[in-house]
Structure 1
Amino acid sequence: MDMRARPYRSVLYIPGSRERALDKARGLPVDAIIFDLEDAVTVAEKPAARATLKAALGQGGYGHRTRIVRINGLDTEWGAEDARAAAAMDCDAILLPKVESPAQLDALAEIADDTPLWAMMETPLGMLNAAAIAAHPRLAGMVMGTNDLAKELQTRFRADRLPMMAGLGLCLLAAKAHGVVIVDGVYNAFKDDDGLRAECEQGRDMGFDGKTLIHPAQVDIANTAFAPSEAEVDLARRQIAAFETAEAEGQGVAVVDGKIVENLHVATAREILAKSEAIAQTASE
């Protein structure tokens, strides 16, 4: 599957220490799972969680879902051992918390063999260094840590997330400039469907590939919000058809629904169709 088309609509955090949750995740309609060894695991459980998670991943059954292991920071007593353990697990990527410079990714790369790296973006310094972080040759994805960012910024909660827009925007620009996946932060009120839907739609409109989630009840809303709608797919097909007809007639532009369609619009239309087809493929697996 084309990596740009691969869906990351729903990215669910699962504690790496909880066997029941690890098993349940095999049947959830999520695009990716972050198996967490960091915040979701108590200090006492951290060493045992590595073995629990390795066994679950070794057992398999996660299908098309991208399997991402979030380790503790390399500046903690658990981080290096987490990284060595994760590199030996059957996973798709290792996620490093609180990344603030490419040097931290360099340090992880030395431990992680050839496993792709992802970066948690959750501090002001991380925001300011987002471009350099996204340019790291081993980086495949970025995850917004909006709870930690809000804490560091000393913001008040606002439904429009205005206090965090500068940071979100810097990371989005960096990710898009360097072709890496970027997923939005969590929505804490997991019983507030309307609030979640609004924040998912905001993130999708900004350009995020998907949203990190803290509860399975949030999955359907995220999957819907970050998937191309039927109307978008229909328009994409008509744009491509009209442009191809115009080209065959020796013209460089076409008109659909009273709007000019140029090759840049067609490129976007093809991406929409590829994403829609990738989602349909994962749903059938």
Structure 2
Amino acid sequence: MSDREPRIRRSALYLPASNERAIEKARTLPCDVVILDLEDAVAPEAKEAAREMAARAVADGGFGRRELVVRVNGLGTPWGEADLAAIGPAGADAILVPKIDDGATLRRYDALLAQAPAATRLWAMIETARSMFALQDIAAQAEATRLACFVMGTNDLAKELRASPDVGREGFVGFLSSTVAAARAHGLSAIDGVFNDIGDAEGLVRQCAQALALGFDGKTLIHPGQIDICNRAFTPGDDRIEAARAIVAAFDAPENAGAGALKVNGQMAERLHLEQARALLAMRAQIDEMG
């Protein structure tokens, strides 16, 4: 049940669902996705109030083109099932569920969303050592569940691995790439994890470039000040757009009808590059329409 129409997910901003002012501000921010967080960003004593606030925010709407997602607490906590019961029927674009170790865990969440609107998708946090060995099993659940997106939880993964990722995340590249591959094999979107150093703009630029090179659709963020950098990084630049237009024009030329491969601006372009070029142009057009 993965997304049939790809959505723009360059920037996905986490906000504590317990902070009413932050939720109101989110309705004006240029991020593509707003994630109201009931899990890590909310203290235990505030969980129930945050759940009510998130449900009310979903019902009130006003987020415009932004995709609205709610991250719930895990089923192994005192709040998980109540979160799903309250948030599921509210009509969010997606429910983000934490610490998915395997396909069976994903199916449990999906079953508890039976009363949610058909359009509500299920997003899965990939953030445990066990999940690294079950990526195919988890992604395959897209065929029969609401699953539509993987979200990297790099902080939790680093904790489990007892690793300390730097900006370049050299020790994590294999895990990141495997997650993208599993997602793509089953038509899922894939969003990278957060960058913790809010004041390090250069570091964020580098990590966004790495995520783009690995194939991620966008990145999760922890501060509004990170949005513009992230949006720029995941928006196809003019040079890529011009190259894509050249490929499309070459294959559309009458004299090249039926050609399987062409030389375009000194480089070999095959039909697979034509498909990629058209997708890139469609993405840029969608971003331009968003303003």
Q: When the two structures are superposed, what TM-score results if normalisation uses the length of structure 1? A: 0.95
Partners of 2:266 and 2:136 lie apart in 1 by: 38
Q: Deviations over 1:165-218 (max 9, x none)?
A: 221122111001111011000000011110000000000011000000000000
- Which stretches in structure 2 are left out of the alignment for 5+ residues? none
Relative distance call for 1:247 and 1:101 in structure 2 (3 A) is: farther
2:188 to 172, 180, 185: 180
Q: Secondary structure in 2 aligned to 1:95?
A: strand
CA-CA distance at 1:4 after TM superposition: 5.0
2:40 corresponds to which letter in structure 1?
Answer: D
Count of residue correspondences: 282
Alignment of 1:19-168 (within 5 A): 19-113=20-114, 114=118, 115-136=120-141, 137-138=144-145, 139-168=147-176
Q: Deviations over 1:73-123 (max 9, x none)?
A: 011110000011111223011111000011112111121124321100001
In the other structure, the counterpart of 2:245 is 237
CA-CA distance at 1:156 after TM superposition: 2.5
- Which stretches in structure 1 are left out of the alignment for 5+ residues? none
Q: Percent identity?
A: 45
Partners of 1:247 and 1:273 lie apart in 2 by: 23
Any conservation in 2 of the 1:10–1:223 contact (CA below 8 Å)? yes
Any conservation in 1 of the 2:32–2:66 contact (CA below 8 Å)? yes
* 2:286 pairs with 1:278: yes
The RMSD of aligned alpha carbons is: 1.4
Any conservation in 1 of the 2:246–2:264 contact (CA below 8 Å)? yes
Any conservation in 2 of the 1:246–1:253 contact (CA below 8 Å)? no
List 4+ stretches of structure 1 deviating above 6 A: none
Partners of 2:255 and 2:5 lie apart in 1 by: 26
Q: Deviations over 1:25-61 (max 9, x none)?
A: 0000111111100001110110111111111221111
Q: Deviations over 1:138-178 (max 9, x none)?
A: 21001000001111111133222111122112211100111
Any conservation in 2 of the 1:175–1:181 contact (CA below 8 Å)? yes
CA-CA distance at 1:248 after TM superposition: 4.4
